Amino acid sequence: MALIQAADTRTYNTSTDYAKPVLAAVKPREHEDSLALLRSHAMFSALEEDDLQELLHHARRLRLGHHQLLYRQDMPAHHFFFVLSGRLRLYRLDASGVDRTLDSIAPGDCIAEVMIYADPARYACFAEALKTSEVLMIPVKAYQDLLDTNHRYTQAALRHYAMRAVTRFHDLEIMTVQSARDRLIRYLVDLLPEGSEQGGEVELPLPKCLVASRLAMQPETFSRILADLKSNGLVRVNRSRVFISDPSKLIRISQ
């Protein structure tokens, strides 16, 4: 049963500053929790028990330390990943060394699953752990084989990919907002759960300096805007938590 690991024989296109993620040993209880999380994702929820076990047989559970890299930009993409715990960050590195944050991925979501039909399949960015994290490393080929055999699986995957494209379009849409303040407001309101018209609290999915990077602004700009919103009574901030008392007012001033 591959969620509980034996040995890892794959080789990585390593570089000097790249520490290989270690295989994670798993207690039965953790294993059950991981299975439940996996089954809640659209790409796996339709799988029959036998097929899920077959997929897990090919998968490896990896543990990553804080700031440890899962993969590097432009590495061949033979695997995609399912986040079991912790949180990962996707980013690009420019030739000048500037690091741009693209996304943060929470437990229950996939990373690089869009690579299954890319040609050439190369990771479009870096992925690193923002804190101690565990991921399931799934060979693209093993998942493709399942899709080849079962129409229902392909339909479920199609549903996921269509929604992923919609989400990415939405992400892009926010980035076409010219004003840095309005981009940040849109980003914060988006983090609120459904039905938070009366206000609510959001947890920033990234450290503040990385939210700034994700929204294409300087950390100082981010701090200034947040301070302005605070002094106008529009938000309250407690470390990584932001309380929004009146989302509709916030949206109004951003337009």
The CB-of-204 to its own copies minimum distance in angstroms stands at: 17
Kindly report the number of other CB atoms within 10 A of residue 94's CB atom: 8
Report the C-alpha gap between 43 and 152 in whole angstroms. 11
Within 10 angstroms of residue 8's Cβ, the number of other Cβ atoms is 14
Tell me how far, at minimum, the Cβ of 165 lies from its own copies, in Å.
4
Retrieve residue 251's tokens: 């949206």
The one-letter amino acid code at 52 reads L
Least CB distance from residue 160 to its own copies, whole Å? 9
Task: Select 31 or 160, whichever has its Cβ closest to its own copies.
Answer: 160
Shortest gap between Cβ of 76 and its own copies (angstroms)?
Answer: 15
Q: Which is nearer to its own copies, 114 or 189 (CB)?
A: 114
- Closest approach, Cβ 92 to its own copies, in A, equals 6
CB count in 10 Å sphere of residue 254: 16
Which is nearer to its own copies, 215 or 235 (by Cβ)? Answer: 215
The footprint of its own copies (CB under 8 A) covers: 92, 94-96, 98, 100-102, 114-118, 124-125, 147-148, 151, 154-155, 157-159, 161-166, 168-173, 175-178, 213-218, 252, 255
Least Cβ distance, residue 148 to its own copies (angstroms): 8
Cβ proximity to its own copies: between 174 and 192 the closer is: 174
State how far the Cα of 135 lies from the Cα of 164, in Å rounded to an integer: 20
Which whole-number Å values give the CA distances from 46 to 117, 157, 167, in the listed order?
20, 9, 22
Whether the bond between 107 and the residue before it is cis, its omega within 30 degrees of 0, is no
The residue (of 163 and 227) whose beta carbon lies closer to its own copies is 163
Helix, strand, or coil here: 220?
Answer: helix
Do residues 229 and 180 touch, judged by C-beta distance below 8 A?
Answer: no
- Which residues contact residue 82 at a Cβ distance below 8 angstroms, ignoring those fewer than 6 apart? 38, 41, 44, 109, 110, 111, 135, 136, 138
Closer CB to its own copies, 19 or 166, in the complex: 166
